[in-house]
Homo-oligomer: A and B are copies of this chain.
């Protein structure tokens, strides 16, 4: 098995430098990092397994990479992950990757070293290759990362269908979908597919507006205002609840009454939305069950890195009916 010294020799740097690169510690040039990572790949160096075999024990730490806990959906998810893992004797190292792919990459490097037993990731900045080479047990939430990384999600397709059926039953004739920019192979794009399938079968008119998930709420609000001002929309499906809150704000400003003039349905159904916006009809993702499933799978992989797991685990969603579609 390759050692730090082998890598140092091949990369033409000191063993200390190699250790710093692996642990992402101290200031290092991109050139040095690149040389060390190239040598690690060449020698198939597995810092984590090595460290473990040397130490003979696990760290009881799990890395959690998510877009950001400032968003109540991920806030609730992290709280649930931390709570459930704590009861099993694990602690979490939290990374809010936002849309910063360099930060996510740095965390992955750091987690690849001997710091965590496994990773839960719900982020989507990096390409497949970067997750493929991590060499640690990983479970993904709702994002395709690599062929051997299981994805846990709620039933996005059924959620989209439910949203369409609800808007149709509430009498909407001219619908708008407001969604983030989805990657084609991302499970969340199934929300759109499910929605469109129902509308297609029933010959209902609709339009799709993509607004990037990471846009600021002000930018999103401007686009929503445009949608509401220019069109005869009477039903809107937002693929997340926060965007639905912005629609409510803009509609109020424009004198459009919900649900009289406009029906509205969101997606996610966090505790926060249920508590503080019970008026919003939404599709609820079962966050606690999703987390239970992710942790169960991750601990299986930690126990036995070669255990066979499915590619996809899909949990049911629920319609929560509020006043915005009645």
* CA–CA, A309 and B61, complex, Å: 32
Question: Judging by beta carbons under 8 Å apart, are A24 and B89 in contact?
Answer: yes
CB of A14 closer than 8 Å to a CB of B: no
Q: List 12 extra interface pairs beyond A25-B60, A216-B275, CB under 8 A.
A: A69-B79, A70-B75, A75-B75, A91-B95, A91-B107, A91-B110, A92-B94, A94-B94, A217-B275, A242-B276, A246-B276, A249-B276
CB of A82 closer than 8 Å to a CB of B: yes
CB of A180 closer than 8 Å to a CB of B: no
Question: Judging by beta carbons under 8 Å apart, are A70 and B271 in contact?
Answer: yes
Question: Judging by beta carbons under 8 Å apart, are A89 and B249 in contact?
Answer: no
**19 examples of A-B residue contacts, CB within 8 angstroms:** A23-B60, A24-B89, A26-B89, A61-B93, A69-B69, A69-B78, A70-B72, A71-B75, A72-B272, A78-B96, A82-B95, A83-B96, A86-B106, A91-B107, A91-B110, A91-B115, A217-B275, A245-B276, A249-B276
CB of A146 closer than 8 Å to a CB of B: no
Which of A107, A216, A272: most chain B Cβ within 10 A? A272
Q: Which residues of B contact A286 (CB under 8 A)?
A: none
Copies in the complex: 2
Question: Judging by beta carbons under 8 Å apart, are A79 and B86 in contact?
Answer: no
What is the number of residues of chain A that contact chain B, defined by CB distance less than 8 Å? 42
B-contacting residues, A226-240, CB 8 Å: none
CB of A278 closer than 8 Å to a CB of B: yes
Instruction: Kindly provide the distance from the CB of A215 to the nearest chain B CB, expressed in whole angstroms.
Output: 11
A residues whose Cβ falls under 8 Å from a Cβ of B: 23-26, 60-61, 68-72, 75-76, 78-79, 82-83, 86, 89, 91-96, 103, 106-107, 110, 115, 216-218, 242, 245-246, 249, 271-272, 275-276, 278
* CA–CA, A49 and B217, complex, Å: 46
Q: Which residues of B contact A218 (CB under 8 A)?
A: 275
Q: Which residues of B contact A86 (CB under 8 A)?
A: 95, 103, 106
